[in-house]
Amino acid sequence: MRDVIIACDFDSRQKTIDFLDKFEEKKPFVKIGMELFYAEGRPLVEQIKQRGHKIFLDLKLHDIPTTVKKAMAVLSAMDVDIVNLHASGTSAMMSAALEGLTRPDGSRPLLIAVTQLTSTSQEVMTNELLINENINEVVAKYAENAKKSGLDGVVCSPLEAGLVKQRCGKEFITVTPGIRFADGDVGDQKRVTTPEKAREIGTDFIVVGRPITAAENPVAAYERCVREFCL
């Protein structure tokens, strides 16, 4: 089940395909986020799927339940493997999303919830969002809300994945960005860990962007992640 997902944070189809071509017969799991989806939309999602990749469509929906339900119904037609939303949109929104995502034959992509973005600090949460609880408690509570609403897992910091598993059970999926090699640059990420440490914590998927996309040899960097995380 453990896998490495490459964050394809590119702004065009051409850059994305040139990047994926480097992997030749290998078909890594890829994440398509807002930048690439807003630039290239559904045709690129379908093209990448046809090449044989699994896709995490990271659009982080957050709106009134009816709107999210209808948007999820559109996304479910795209044959992607994972989609997501913000848990702060409420349990009603998450339940509606799940309904919208479920196809007439009962199948659907995995649906996961963003808890608190890893770019949000305790200070901002308390002073700006007026959420007084400890950030770990908020993440754990949002994960529990997601589980009760029938979702499959959450996106969280690797450092929170252990707590989420403890509160929601080990079958509840954790997808964790903020991964850096022990000898690599941290860049703008604040709370990072290595692929090896993420494996020890017990997370299911790591999302890795720049350590692979900006590497001199992206295929070797990807293989290193797989070695350290999956094996």
Q: How far apart are CA 77 and CA 100, in angstroms?
A: 11
Query: Which C-beta is closer to ligand C5P: that of 73 or that of 117?
Result: 117
Interface residues with ligand C5P (CB under 6 A)? 7, 9, 33, 117-118, 155, 177-178, 189, 207-211
Give the tokens for residue 117. 């973005």
> Which among 146, 139, 57 is positioned nearest to 93, based on CA atoms?
146
Give catalytic residue positions: 60
Based on CB atoms, which residue is closest to ligand C5P, 73 or 199? Answer: 199
State both tokens at 123.
Answer: 């200070």
Dihedral angle sign, alpha carbons of residues 203, 186, 209, 32: positive
Tell me whether residue 108 or residue 210 sits nearer to ligand C5P (CB atom).
210
> Among all chains, which residue has been given the structure tokens 């408690």?
137
CB of 102 to ligand C5P, least distance (A): 25
Residue 151 near residue 113, CB atoms below 8 Å: yes
CA distance 89 to 149: 12
Residue 66 CB, shortest distance to ligand C5P, in Å, is 26
Q: Which is nearer to ligand C5P, 102 or 141 (CB)?
A: 141
Residue 22 CB, nearest approach to ligand C5P (Å) = 17
Least distance (Å) from ligand C5P to the CB of residue 13?
17
